[in-house]
Amino acid sequence: MTFEEELKKRSEEVQEIIYSYLPEEKGYQKTLLEAMNYSMTAGGKRLRPLLMQETYRLFGGSGEIVKPFMAAIEMIHTHSLVHDDLPAMDNDEYRRGKKTTHVVYGEAMAILAGDGLLNLAYETACRAFAMEPENVNIGKALAVLAQKTGIGGMIGGQSVDVLNDGKPLSGDMLDFIYRLKTSALIESSMMIGAILAGAGEEQVSRVCSAANDIGLAFQIRDDILDVTGTQQELGKPVNSDEKNNKTTYVTIKGAERAKQDVEAISARALETLADLPLKNVFLEKLVRALIVRKN
């Protein structure tokens, strides 16, 4: 089986896990639940839950306890996309090749759908307690999930991005935004996988370092694709950063230097993973594939 075939198979398995935790569309709040599910089923790479699962396997994890956390991290990621697309933020009409949530359901319902997904994420992660009530690692994983997605992580990075929208940014400021807005959620994914599998503190720290670089390389590659990709490949408008007068890694360093840095940063992440005593060949191949991804 080729890597592409294996990736497709594992991504489909991850998607089935995520779908199993989505709410049933019923009751007076049915429209809200439909909007939440519309956003969650719009497609996507499922990269974060996939990274979580593969890191869990890297450290010998084989149980069910990781599954609610996998669904939770994708809910949080999708919540961020729903809110990013709003008129008050990026005002995008397409995401993953489909109309964005606010275009289909209205701005107010999209705000509530994003809020609903964020709250449902923590509710879903907490279901792990019922699976293994005595497992102290669940609380540790939940603390990472909350910290990395909050004001010290994803939301904090987004706030700095919004405050500086359309303004020239220094390289240090852009790096700060990327490491919080994008890397923090990938750090959370991989750290939780390691923690739930019983990895020690030093190993979790190494995983966090690798994930930080993976997230940074991922965001820089996004900047490149906004310039070089097509709407068909990306499932959303291209050149949106330029249209919004947005400072990106490409505008600061140029596309060619950006490509070189993606390769160098990804190589550093792979070296960090290689220093761990255990190996996951698929995880290494996945990180390499992100360097040349088209969407």
Q: Which residue has the tokens 């979790």?
A: 204
- Asked whether residue 97 carries a pLDDT value surpassing 90, the answer given is no
pLDDT at 235: 57
Domains of the chain (ranges plus CATH)? 3-291 (1.10.600.10)
Whole-structure pTM value: 0.94
Mean pLDDT across the stretch 228-248?
64
CB 117 within 8 A of CB 110: no
Q: Which residues contact 80 (CB under 8 A, 6 or more apart)?
A: 114, 154, 158, 185
User: pLDDT value at position 267?
Assistant: 96
What is the rounded average pLDDT of the residues 10-31? 97
pLDDT at 69: 98
Contact 15, 6 (CB under 8 A): no
Query: At a CB cut-off of 8 Å and minimum separation 6, what does 85 contact?
Result: 91, 92, 93, 95, 100, 101, 102, 110
Residue 238 scores a pLDDT above 70: no
In a 13 Å sphere around the CA of 221, the CA atoms on its Cβ side amount to: 23
Distance CA 177, CA 55 (A): 25
What value does the mean pLDDT take over residues 133-144?
97
Bridge partners (DSSP) listed for residue 95: 98
pLDDT band at 126 (very low <50, low <70, confident <90, very high): very high
Per-residue pLDDT band at 3 (split at 50, 70, 90)? very high
Tell me the average pLDDT of the chain. Answer: 92
14's CB contacts (< 8 A; 6+ apart) are 46, 49, 50, 53, 70
Each residue's pLDDT tens digit, 176-233: 999 999 999 999 999 999 999 999 999 999 999 999 999 999 999 999 998 886 556 5
CA–CA separation, 121 and 145 (whole Å)? 10
